[in-house]
A and B are shown apart, each in its own frame.
Chain A
């Protein structure tokens, strides 16, 4: 199924890279305190998925995976719009986007 001859670089390399990027993004979400940086880490995770999609699509010679990437990009753009608006709104009232300061509700 995986046609090695069509690839200069074997697709498994791309998948491994996307996995590494995904985990990097996940760790970023867990460690960062700045809302924007967390958000960028999420974007990294989404894009690692895009990479995996493209790699798989190429190996299957199937266009569906590549189409999916466009959907993911569109959704990511929407999330940026909404997310940045929220972050700006929060910055206006609190003068900070450190998410560790956001814990008025707990328990």
Chain B
């Protein structure tokens, strides 16, 4: 017998989330029974859960390709192609996150089962971010995403930098999310609802409280801009990326950013189409600043993790450019396709680059300088080749997903130029800063191949697998982007 309440909850639509959530809770208890020296069992069990979710997602892909979208929990969440596509990215990222930690944690003497459980929880947060249809859900998902990450950043507890990173991240994160909450409060005050579609109706019909709503929207931008590391809310990024254990950094640089963008797009496009030119301009300016600052400061970095942190700031700028392009409603589907494609390409490339960084890092946490890459071209030719590919992809060179992503982003922005001429200036900044970025990305390649060095790296099977998979994915996206981009465009919000 089917209860009506269950129908409106629609558990099947959120099955992957449920699988991971249930599995994480089970694992939390189960981990107590696993002896200290056998914590990799927890890792494998976590992988089982993630694979279960991946299977569920696989079946949902076909389902949602036919049906478009489905609401669940009485309309609090919407599952559609967009969220399915991003959930795939999140689950893949989480799988990589587990594989990267498998060897890293014991090597650095910080192996504890909680790592994997926290990883699962933050993955749930990301997945819910991508399907949030209500500001309450956005907030809860954002916190579910953030809080485990605060702990994970400080996971290498005995290292001062790790502790410092965690506290900085925590204080600033809490600070930023209080803006988000206040923004939600103001939006609620302006519109009388927290439902995204309800807000969209209220904003068009009711001009009386528009200042309240507009400012609320601005504060929402702050909270989400912090998550995606947009200037000027980016300053936590380099310190946290450098201090956190490298697998966490890898996971965070991809997952948390994609989660932030998922919510940003859903909120802006679904709830605030009426004030699109306001947020469009704001985001375009932020995008320009973000690209400039990220790329320029990255040049003078000598630590690979810090360099990649600034690089991730810069890439947030490129993605924001496409978000700004989504302000024109006729252009939105292409722009969002570009965002999603870019996120996937960036995820593959960045995870690959961090994998190499993990392989080079030494047990005591040193070995994260770019100079430590010297000589890898000789000692580890395949790994160096993969790293060169990742660097070229981040720069936006041909036969890599990075180039195709950038082309789509710029194209989306250029299509929106008639609505907002400012975008043209930002596109020009984007192209120029891509050239600047070649300086620091190519430096890594140069150091690997042209500088003499020991070229020491530890590359267990798990890392090799990740490296091969990410390099392959980057190449595939670069050579045959068609199918994925079509999926990404079809992944549109319904």
Contact = CB atoms under 8 A, between A and B. Distances in A.
B165 to A, nearest CB: 7
A90 B208 CA distance: 49
A103 to B, nearest CB: 8
Nearest to A68: B136
Contacts of A106: 239
Contact of B188 (A68, A79, A83): A68
A64 B193 contact: yes
B167 A105 contact: no
B164 A79 contact: no
A49 to B, nearest CB: 4
Nearest to B297: A107
What's the dominant secondary structure at chain A's contact region?
Answer: helix
Given A1-B192, A71-B136, A104 B175 contact: no
B259 interface: no
B410 interface: no
Contacts of A75: 139-140, 143
Contacts of B408: none
B180 to A, nearest CB: 9
A25 B174 CA distance: 12
A79 B147 contact: yes
Contact of A82 (B139, B150, B192): B150
Contacts of B160: 93-94, 104
A72 B179 CA distance: 12
Given A49-B181, A82-B150, A93-B163, A39 B188 contact: no
Contacts of A25: 178
A24 interface: no
Contacts of B179: 45
B170 interface: yes
A102 B194 contact: no
Nearest to B176: A42
Contacts of A105: 161, 164-165, 238-239, 242-243, 306
A27 to B, nearest CB: 12
Given A53-B185, A75-B139, A78-B143, A86 B242 contact: no
B218 interface: no
Given A83-B170, A99-B167, A105-B165, A67 B136 contact: yes
Nearest to A59: B189
A40 to B, nearest CB: 11
Nearest to B212: A15
A60 to B, nearest CB: 5
Contacts of B208: 1
A89 interface: yes
B182 interface: yes
B174 A42 contact: yes
B192 A60 contact: yes
A11 B64 CA distance: 44
Contacts of B163: 86, 89-90, 93
Interface string B183-226: 01110110011100000000000101000000000000000000
Interface string A7-35: 00000000100100010010001000001
Interface string B153-167: 010011011011111
B184 A68 contact: yes
B194 A68 contact: yes
A62 interface: yes
Interface in A45-78: 45-46, 48-49, 52-53, 55-57, 60, 62, 64-65, 67-68, 71-72, 75, 78
Contacts of B171: 29, 35, 38-39, 42, 83, 99
Contact of B181 (A35, A46, A67): A46
Interface string B272-307: 000000000000000000000000000011000010
Contacts of B157: 89
A83 B174 contact: yes
B215 to A, nearest CB: 10
Contacts of A42: 171, 174-175, 178
Nearest to B195: A64
26 contacts: A1-B206, A25-B178, A35-B167, A35-B171, A39-B171, A42-B171, A42-B174, A45-B178, A55-B189, A56-B185, A64-B136, A64-B193, A68-B139, A71-B136, A71-B139, A71-B140, A75-B140, A79-B143, A83-B171, A86-B167, A90-B163, A93-B163, A102-B167, A104-B164, A105-B238, A105-B306
Given A42-B171, A57-B188, 11 more contacts: A1-B206, A35-B167, A49-B182, A64-B188, A64-B194, A82-B170, A83-B171, A86-B167, A89-B163, A103-B164, A104-B160
Closest 8 CB pairs of A and B: A45-B178, A52-B185, A56-B189, A49-B181, A49-B182, A105-B239, A42-B174, A49-B185
